[in-house]
């Protein structure tokens, strides 16, 4: 077995005996073949380049989190057929509500907590999005719980803590937990269990900017919601242009499990939940 082809699941990406056995079973199942010319990604090796020949350089080792998460991101990107569905949600009413809550109660809510609630509502309406392919790839494991992973940018790299049972928490509880978990993530104090068991992930770059992007699915989940920065746009209401706050949604889904029509339906439903957030039924 060429160990370069085996993904290690132990601490620090180390390859265990079980990883090798699983790899051999996978190849023997005929799911793919490492043979040249097949789909085994028999690519030329990364070239060794002496960059200092062209100018001054510094070499910085990758951080531990980058090395571990990089291997998984790479695996997920090449092994899952991603499709990204884009839509816009009108969050004008949410913005007004956020401002009112901040003024009345002094509590700061970001759009993310509403996105968590809307995601739970959409996962309930479209249960296939709350599933995982099992290791045989012949069964879907449907989940009756709603744990949402949130991508958090830390000085050491990307981590995804999981907020459990989001269906049982209101937006204020979610805001408190989100702030505690993201602080723990930035302090490097998350325990492994706090990053496990997610059903669906949200990657919000709205606090930074951008109009859309393609988030990478966090396997074994089958979909992830990317969120870009909302902005006020003129929206035609049939008679006039109205200034409305529009939030860009970018849903990547696993096309082996979810077809395009349901990808569009899920995203539209999620947007509709945000547009009518007070009537949101989760
Ligand atoms: N549109 C417009 N404004 C937004 C917004 C959006 N979609 N999302 C957040 N904002 C605003 C917030 O309201 C806040 O504004 P104020 O300070 O004026 O109230 C500001 O942007 C900063 O928000 P935040 O980023 O601190 O908070 P959050 O709850 O939106 O996100 C967290 C929390 C932890 C997810 C975020 O800090 C983070 O780490 N994001 C990066 C995630 C990431 O790296 N994803 C990529 C993964 S793939 O490589």
Output the DSSP codes for 88-134.
EEE-HHHHHHHHHHHHHH-----HHHHHHHHHHHHHHHSGGGGEEE-
Structure-token match 């884009």, residue found: 86
Q: What is the pLDDT of residue 36?
A: 46
- Give the 3-state secondary structure of residue 8: coil
Q: What is the pLDDT of residue 39?
A: 61
CA of 63 to the centre of ligand 1 (A): 23
Tokens read off for 203:
């990657």
Tokens read off for 95:
């913005």
Q: What is the pLDDT of residue 32?
A: 55
pLDDT tens digit at each of 282 positions of the chain:
888 888 888 888 889 999 899 888 888 876 654 444 556 666 777 888 999 999 999 999 999 999 989 999 999 999 999 999 999 999 999 999 999 998 898 888 999 999 999 999 999 999 999 999 998 989 999 999 999 999 999 998 999 999 999 999 999 999 999 999 999 999 999 999 999 999 999 999 999 999 999 999 999 999 999 999 999 999 999 999 999 999 999 999 999 999 999 999 999 999 999 999 887 765
Tokens read off for 249:
């949604």
Q: What is the pLDDT of residue 25?
A: 84
Give the bridge partners for 223, in sequence order.
253
- Separation CA 208–CA 229 (nearest Å): 7
CA of 204 to the centre of ligand 1 (A): 6
The atom number, within ligand 1, closest to the CA of 216 reads: 48
CB atoms within 10 A of CB 243: 9
**CB-ligand 1 contact for 151 (6 Å cutoff):** yes
- Separation CA 165–CA 94 (nearest Å): 23
- Separation CA 215–CA 204 (nearest Å): 10
How much is the pTM? 0.86
CA of 182 to the centre of ligand 1 (A): 11
Return the closest-CA partner of residue 107 out of 175, 206, 170. 175
Give the bridge partners for 148, in sequence order.
163, 200
Return the closest-CA partner of residue 203 out of 251, 155, 149, 151. 151
- Separation CA 177–CA 171 (nearest Å): 10
Are 277 and 117 in contact by the 8 Å Cβ rule? The answer is: yes
CA distance to 33, 119, 124, 154, per residue, from 199 (Å): 30, 11, 12, 22
**255 a catalytic residue:** yes
Mutate to test the pocket of ligand 1, among 87, 110, 202 (most ligand atoms within 8 A of CB): 110
Q: What is the pLDDT of residue 115?
A: 98
**CB-ligand 1 contact for 109 (6 Å cutoff):** no
Contacts of 64 (CB under 8 A, 6+ apart): 12, 156
Are 200 and 148 in contact by the 8 Å Cβ rule? The answer is: yes
Tokens read off for 154:
């830390």
């Amino acid at each position: 077995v060429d160990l370069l082809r085996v993904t290690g699941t132990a601490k620090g990406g180390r390859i265990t005996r079980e990883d090798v056995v699983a790899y051999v079973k996978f190849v023997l199942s005929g799911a793919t073949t490492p043979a040249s010319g097949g789909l085994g990604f028999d690519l030329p090796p990364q070239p060794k380049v002496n960059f200092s020949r062209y100018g001054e350089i510094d070499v910085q080792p990758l951080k531990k989190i980058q090395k571990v998460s990089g291997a998984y991101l790479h695996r997920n990107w090449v092994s899952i057929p991603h499709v990204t569905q884009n839509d816009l949600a009108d969050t004008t009413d949410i913005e007004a509500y956020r401002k009112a809550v901040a003024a009345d109660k002094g509590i700061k809510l970001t759009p993310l907590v509403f996105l968590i609630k809307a995601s739970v509502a959409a996962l309930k309406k479209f249960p296939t999005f709350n599933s995982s392919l099992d290791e045989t790839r012949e069964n879907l494991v449907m989940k009756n719980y709603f744990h949402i992973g949130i991508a958090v940018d830390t000085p050491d790299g990307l981590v995804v803590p999981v907020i459990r049972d989001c269906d049982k928490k209101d937006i204020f509880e979610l805001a408190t937990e989100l702030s505690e978990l993201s602080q723990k993530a930035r302090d490097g104090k998350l325990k492994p269990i706090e990053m496990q068991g997610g059903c669906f992930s949200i990657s919000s770059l709205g606090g930074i900017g951008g109009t859309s992007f393609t988030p990478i699915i966090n396997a074994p989940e089958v979909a992830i919601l990317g969120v870009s920065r909302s902005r006020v746009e003129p929206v035609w209401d049939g008679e006039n242009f109205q200034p409305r706050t529009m939030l860009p949604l970018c849903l990547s889904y696993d096309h082996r499990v979810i077809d395009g029509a349901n990808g569009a339906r899920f995203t539209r439903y999620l947007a509709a939940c945000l547009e009518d957030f007070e009537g949101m039924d989760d």
